[in-house]
Structure 1
Amino acid sequence: MSTKIKESDYIHEPLTDFSLEKNRQVFKDSLNLVESQLGKDYPLVIGGERITTNEKIVSINPANKDKIIGTVSKTNKELAEKAMQAALTAFETWKKVTPESRANILFRTASMLRHRKHEFSSYLVKEAGKPWIEADADTAEAIDFMEYYARQMMQLKDGIPVQSREEESNKFKYIPLGVGIIISPFNFPLAIMAGTTVAAIVTGNTVLLKPSNNTPVVAAKFVELMEDAGLPSGVLNYIPGSGSEVGDYLVNHPKTRFISFTGSREIGCRINERAAKVQPGQLWLKRVIAEMGGKDTIIVDAEADLDIAASSIVHSAFGFSGQKCSACSRAVIHEDVYDEVVEKVITLTKTLSIGNPADSNTYMGPVIDQKSFEKVMQYIKNGKEEGKLVTGGLGDDSKGYFIQPTIFIDVNERARLMQEEIFGPVLAICKARDFDHLLEVANNTDYGLTGALISNNHDHIERAKEEFHVGNLYFNRGCTGAIVGYHPFGGFNMSGTDSKAGGPDYLILHMQAKTISVTHL
Structure 2
Amino acid sequence: MAVETKVKTYLNFINGEWKSSSTNEVAASINPANKHDIVGYIQKSSKEDVDLAVAAANNAQIQWRKLSAPARGNYLFKMAEILERNLDEIAETMTREMGKTLIEAKGETARGVAILRYYAGEGMRPIGDVIPSTDAEALMFTSRVPLGVVGVITPWNFPVAIPIWKMAPALVYGNTVVLKPAQETAVTAAKVIECIAEAGLPAGVINMVTGSGSVIGQGIVNHPNINGITFTGSDQVGKLVGQGALDRGAKYQLEMGGKNPVIVAADADLDLAVEATISGGLRSTGQKCTATSRVIVQSEIYDTFKEKLLTYVKRIKIGHGLNEETWMGPCASESQLSTVLSYIEKGKAEGATLIYGGDRCIENELENGFYVQPTIFENVTSDMIIAQEEIFGPVLVLIKVETIQQALKVANDVKFGLSASIFTRNIGNILTFINGMDAGLVRINAESAGVELQAPFGGMKQSSSGSREQGQAAIEFFTSIKTVFVKP
TM-score (norm 1): 0.89
1:357-401 deviation per Cα after TM superposition (whole angstroms, max 9, x unaligned):
110110100001111111100111111133111111111474010
**Equivalent-residue separation in structure 1 for 2:258 and 2:5 (angstroms):** 36
Mapping of residues 114-513 of structure 1, within 5 Å: 114-157=84-127, 159-164=128-133, 165-278=135-248, 285-385=249-349, 386-396=351-361, 398-485=367-454, 487-513=455-481
Amino acid at match of 2:435: E
SS of the residue corresponding to residue 172 of structure 1 reads: strand
Runs (4+) off by over 4 Å: none
**Equivalent-residue separation in structure 2 for 1:236 and 1:480 (angstroms):** 30
1:135-178 deviation per Cα after TM superposition (whole angstroms, max 9, x unaligned):
12211221121112222232135x23322453111221101111
Amino acid at match of 1:56: V
- Distance apart, 1:503 and its partner CA: 2.0
**Equivalent-residue separation in structure 1 for 2:18 and 2:107 (angstroms):** 31
SS of the residue corresponding to residue 82 of structure 1 reads: helix
Amino acid at match of 1:439: L
SS of the residue corresponding to residue 427 of structure 1 reads: strand
**Equivalent-residue separation in structure 1 for 2:124 and 2:396 (angstroms):** 43
**Equivalent-residue separation in structure 2 for 1:37 and 1:293 (angstroms):** 39
Amino acid at match of 2:19: I
**Equivalent-residue separation in structure 2 for 1:298 and 1:498 (angstroms):** 23
Correspondent of 1:514 among 452, 473, 482: 482
The runs of 5 or more residues in structure 1 that have no matched partner are 1-35, 279-284
1:9-53 deviation per Cα after TM superposition (whole angstroms, max 9, x unaligned):
xxxxxxxxxxxxxxxxxxxxxxxxxxx987211111111232213
Amino acid at match of 1:418: A
The runs of 5 or more residues in structure 2 that have no matched partner are none
**Equivalent-residue separation in structure 1 for 2:19 and 2:85 (angstroms):** 28
**Equivalent-residue separation in structure 2 for 1:216 and 1:408 (angstroms):** 34
Q: Provide the residue aligned with 1:20 in structure 2.
A: none
**Equivalent-residue separation in structure 1 for 2:148 and 2:205 (angstroms):** 11
SS of the residue corresponding to residue 407 of structure 1 reads: strand
Amino acid at match of 1:169: L
The answer to whether the 8 A contact 1:38-1:68 is kept is no
Q: Provide the residue aligned with 2:18 in structure 1.
A: 50
Aligned residue pair count: 478
**Equivalent-residue separation in structure 2 for 1:69 and 1:206 (angstroms):** 29
- Distance apart, 1:191 and its partner CA: 0.5
**Equivalent-residue separation in structure 2 for 1:358 and 1:60 (angstroms):** 15
SS of the residue corresponding to residue 506 of structure 1 reads: helix
**Equivalent-residue separation in structure 2 for 1:349 and 1:132 (angstroms):** 20
1:298-335 deviation per Cα after TM superposition (whole angstroms, max 9, x unaligned):
00111111111111111111000000000001100001
SS of the residue corresponding to residue 41 of structure 1 reads: coil
Work out the percentage of aligned pairs sharing the same amino acid: 36
Amino acid at match of 2:335: K
RMSD over aligned Cα, in angstroms? 1.6
1:61-92 deviation per Cα after TM superposition (whole angstroms, max 9, x unaligned):
11011111111122201111111111111111
Q: Provide the residue aligned with 1:22 in structure 2.
A: none
Amino acid at match of 1:68: I
**Equivalent-residue separation in structure 1 for 2:119 and 2:126 (angstroms):** 10
SS of the residue corresponding to residue 233 of structure 1 reads: coil
**Equivalent-residue separation in structure 2 for 1:95 and 1:152 (angstroms):** 15
- Distance apart, 1:249 and its partner CA: 2.0
- Distance apart, 1:132 and its partner CA: 2.0
**Equivalent-residue separation in structure 2 for 1:199 and 1:504 (angstroms):** 9
The answer to whether the 8 A contact 1:128-1:368 is kept is yes
**Equivalent-residue separation in structure 2 for 1:472 and 1:494 (angstroms):** 14
Change in 2 beyond 3 A, CA 1:286/1:101: same
SS of the residue corresponding to residue 125 of structure 2 reads: helix
The answer to whether the 8 A contact 1:156-1:174 is kept is no
1:402-440 deviation per Cα after TM superposition (whole angstroms, max 9, x unaligned):
001000011011111110000001111110111110100
